[in-house]
Amino acid sequence: MSEPYDALIARAREAHLLESTAEILAWDQETMMPPGGVDHRARQLGLLARLAHERRTAPEIAELLARCDAADLPDEAKADVRELRRSFDRSASVPAELVQERSEVTSRAQHAWARAREDSDFASFRPWLERVLSLERNRAACLGVPDGGELWDALAEDYEPGMRAADLAPLFAPLRERLGAFVQELSEVHGPSNRCNEIEFEIDRQEKFVRRIATAIGFDFSRGRIDRSAHPFCGGSHAGDVRITTRFHRDNVGDALGSTMHECGHGIYEQGLPADRVGTPLGTAVSLGIHESQSRLWENHVGRSAGFWRWCADVATEELGSAAAMLSADDWFGSSNVVRPSLIRVEADEATYNLHVVVRFDLERRLVSGDLEVADLPDAWNAAYREVLGVDVPDDRDGCLQDVHWSCGLVGYFPTYTLGTLYAAQFFAAAERDLGDLEEPFACGDFAPLRDWLRQNVHCHGMRYGAEELCRRATGAGLDAEIFLNYLERKLRPLYGVD
């Protein structure tokens, strides 16, 4: 290649080694670490964050970037340099002390959140959230507000490059209106039964069941693992070590299956990134919106499809036992597509899910701007849920404490779930355009055609293209919310008997 490019990549990989080590420690904190390890783990993560930051912002990085700009590099190398420059510019604007403090505080805040959620006690978490938000505002100020933008935009750039609140608001408003009206229409007729998710199944049997599904859809257990945590997530260090978590309730196997398929979607993406480019932009997911598209695609377009349940109903009987034997494929398909406004985002159906995101997007912007005080968050949350979803929040656990994100400092993340939902519908439609109807292979337990299409059109590119360009190359068009809305209506109207 070229000497400056090779040197730049070597330094990027050093930083990635430190960051991926922190990822494993963070996974351990959520799954294995005893409570007594919180303070020491926070210091470990803080030091690793600082060391990685110093690697990414070292003076020689700026010199190597300049030399790479002057070199005649192939397109793939130019993409690496472009993304490493963006990373350098953002990282260099934030002091190392702030990076370390943020890592230490969010590590402790996650533990405080878990205890507060268990006790349904927002008051105990409030000082931690205030501290996290203060650090995020400071970081946003260092990063700089985009022209014509707001403080929140500077943070959202971490998750979806180029995403601005001003661009999302006109996208979310019609989604809220269309989805709200559709949900109301469905609520006025008798829909499918949710009986499959009300029967009690042993946790150990549920775990065997979801592991079998994970294997079937393509999660490689020789390069990954599944564990339990309070809030499902996907972590790990690289494509050869992907760690996902899920959770179980005796009387809601649908939550376990949906969470597992969602996180497997993330994991399959990570395992599909180019193995020889680990630690470089071309070996890294392009954005969180695209990442969420992969999780939402497997969770919804596969896991809630009629074809999937024509195969999976028998698997459920084999793994879950006699209680599942009385349930047909139609029963499972119906239960997986019940539309009912609810309290919990990760348990929400496809029609109401994005309304949960709309609530968080609005509250988050107000928290960052200071228009909403942390002390007033529970009341604001409860009022928003009453207005947008028509449900009353009974306690903090099922209200503003249900998500781990803010305790981790993931401010600006939530809208990527809706972007991912829209991208997922578009990718799936393009896959069926190229491969034909996928219901039949799903009914035979064959998910390889879809997985291979995603490998070839999404996973293999890493960050070579931005999210919008990747979408255009894979589907032939830019992001189009109508594709998702049309898909949803085509599936749910017949199921509910609504013209």
CA–CA gap between residue 103 and residue 309 (Å, rounded): 43
What length does the chain have? 499
CA–CA gap between residue 187 and residue 340 (Å, rounded): 7
**What is the DSSP track for 94-139?**
S-HHHHHHHHHHHHHHHHHHHHHHHHT-HHHHHHHHHHHHHHHHHH
Is 157:151 a contact under the CB 8 Å cutoff? no
CA distances from 137 to 3, 58, 377 (A): 39, 24, 17
Strands (E), 229-335: 234-238, 241-246
Is 79:282 a contact under the CB 8 Å cutoff? yes
Is 415:361 a contact under the CB 8 Å cutoff? yes
User: Both tokens of residue 159?
Assistant: 């998750």
The SS3 call for residue 34 is coil
CA–CA gap between residue 398 and residue 363 (Å, rounded): 16
The SS3 call for residue 3 is helix
30 among known catalytic residues: no
| Residue 62: CB atoms within 10 Å | 14
CA–CA gap between residue 169 and residue 177 (Å, rounded): 12
Q: Is 26 left (phi over 0), alpha (psi -120 to 50) or beta?
A: alpha
Out of 83, 104, 160, 263, the active site residue is 263
CA distances from 275 to 446, 448, 460, 471 (A): 25, 19, 9, 22
Return the sign of the alpha-carbon dihedral for residues 224, 229, 233, 237: negative
- Work out the angle at residue 487's Cα, subtended by the Cα atoms of residues 482 and 489, and round it to the nearest 5 degrees: 95
**What is the DSSP track for 49-75?**
HHHHHHHHT-HHHHHHHHHHHHS---H
* Residues classed as catalytic: 263
